[in-house]
Each structure stands twice: as structure tokens, then as C-alpha cells.
Amino acid sequence: MDPNQRIARISAHLNPPNLDDQMVDGSGVNRVGCRAKGGSPGFKVAILGAAGGIGQPLAMLMKMNPLVSVLHLYDVANAPGVTADISHMDTSAIVRGFLGQSQLEEALTGMDLVVIPAGVPRKPGMTRDDLFNINAGIVRTLSEAIAKCCPKAVVNIISNPVNSTVPIAAEVFKKAGTFDPKKLMGVTMLDVVRANTFVAEVMSLDPREVDVPVVGGHAGVTILPLLSQVKPPCSFTQKEIEYLTGRIQNGGTEVVEAKAGAGSATLSMAYAAVKFADACLRGLRGDANIVECAFVASHVTELPFFASKVRLGRCGIDEVYGLGPLNEYERMGLEMAKKELSGSIEKGITFVKK
């Protein structure tokens, strides 16, 4: 291969060819599709909002995942820099960057999994509802592009308020005639990750060996850890139950306040998002018994969306599990969660329909 061809291959992921207007650089070399030698077959993943506080560590961790063959990084600013940086990592996934609305459709075409951390983060004193007006519009726009360019992709929504943004995406997909409830998931994995960590601290266990089902939604009292169903089985005092439930529900606020205006839970969120995305990819690959919690279209309660355990497979969600036996404390928590969740879901649906 002559030097010009080598240069073209190396540069291709930094400036992907525009489908309408093939770029030619100053040396007259066409930028061609780039694929690392020995790159393993895998899945094509897009991150929308890849240059943000969650997006950057999320992109880095996804580049490390051997199930990812192509990684598209999209944002409205700074995407080329993040792409250049992450593309230097010596893992097999090919990284391509996409900047601004004009490149959104190109970023999405042919994707198997789309992860959306796009939007503004929480700041001290803000509730997730304070984020709604900005992030709702962002999620609607991105969902419209997904419906057009990769309607069969699995979609993981991180953008808050998840209790409203997942219904927004669902309504957009319904309008486009592409809605598949098996493919759309709100990422609540951070609540599970926190629950596993906090329970492990109280019980002096390794958090990697703890599994706490967290159901309901992804904000405040809608986050309901089912401590009666913890694995391995644990016995808690009422005081421990109230402490753990409160800390799990307010974990996001704990980080926002600790960062004192410098951000929200970005690193642990990126970790949790990659953990969930990996579970989705293993399901798509055909691995058996991949079970995680997520906020999905559901018949578990009377609400149209609810977070519970789901089994992931080749089509996205293979099965949505019920709640199992609840104790009195959890039944009371469930009623509070549903009341709060109902309004958030309706707010998202109304946003698209208005």
C-alpha cells in the first residue's frame, strides 16, 4: 500500500466521508473507509452526546468493549476532538466522529445499538423535571433521526428525566410507525449499581457478588430498591432499610452536591451505561439468561412504562418480569412510586402530542 493510501485509511475515522460530498484532502487523497487490520466482527454502536460529561467516559469504555466493531461518536460540539483522542486506543473498534445536525443521519445509518446521553446535566438545586424543557426537545430530535435511519436498532436512553424521555421517544417512534417496545429501554442501571454498592458496604460484602433489583423509575421516590429480594439473601433492620432506600433514591443528588456545581454523576453513570449496553450486545449476540433492570414499555403495573427486570435477547427485550413478592414497606413504596411516575410519563407523552 502506498503512503497516500495509508494516510487515507488512518484519517478516515477522524473525518468520515460525507455521503453526499466525498471529501478530498489537500494531497488529492480520497478519505476512504477505515478498518483496523484484524478487527473482530461485532456490532455497530452510536453514542449521541459523545462529547459530554457522560459521553466521553462512555465512549472510552465502549471503545474497550470487544463486542463493538464500529463506534460512531456524535455531538453538536467537540466531537472531532473526542474522536481523535479515543481513536488512538489500541482496541479493535473503528471510531468515527460526526459533528452537528447535518451529520446526525450519517452517524445513525446502519447502527445496531444507539446510546443517548445527550442533554444538559443536573446542577445543584435542580430537579430532573427542571431538565425537562431542554432535554425533551433534544431526545425528540434524536428519536426522529433514529426512526428514519436505524429503526430496528436497540435504543438505550440515559438523558434525564428518563421517566419522561423514554415515553417521548416511544411517541416519536409511534408517529413514524417504527415503535417496537422490545427495542426501547431507559437506562436505570446506575440505581442498581448504587444499590449493589451501598448494600455491600452495609453487609460487608463484595459488591460484585450483590444483586439488588431496583424497580419503578429513575428519579427520587420512583426508584424502588427491593431489598427483600437481594442476592445473596440478606436480613436488614428497619433502620437499615430506610437508610439504604433513601441513599439509593438520592444517590444522584449526593454526587451533584459533592461536586458543588462542577457537574453531576458522569463517571458512575458512564460505567453503568456501558454495563447495560454490554448486556444488550450480549443479548443481541444470542447469549442466554441476560437479565437486567430497565425502564421499558410494560404491563407489570397499570402504567404504560415501568422499570423491572427484563431478559435481553436477539430482538432486544425477550421478556419483562413481574415484581415478585413485596413486603409491606415495598408495597407502600410502590404506590408512592406509581403516583409520581404517572405524571412524569404523561408529561413526556403530552410533549410529543401537543
Catalytic residues: 218
The alpha carbon of 333 is separated from its chain's Cα centroid by a whole number of angstroms, namely 25
In angstroms, the Cα distances linking 266 to 127, 270, 340 are 16, 6, 25
CA–CA gap between residue 188 and residue 198 (Å, rounded): 16
What residue type is assigned to position 175 of the chain?
K
* Sequence-ordered list of residues with C-beta below 8 angstroms from that of 342, at least 6 positions apart, any chain: 303
Backbone torsions φ then ψ of 173, nearest 5 degrees:
-65, -40
What are the cell numbers at 56? 466521553
Least Cα distance to 55 among 44, 38, 71 occurs for 71
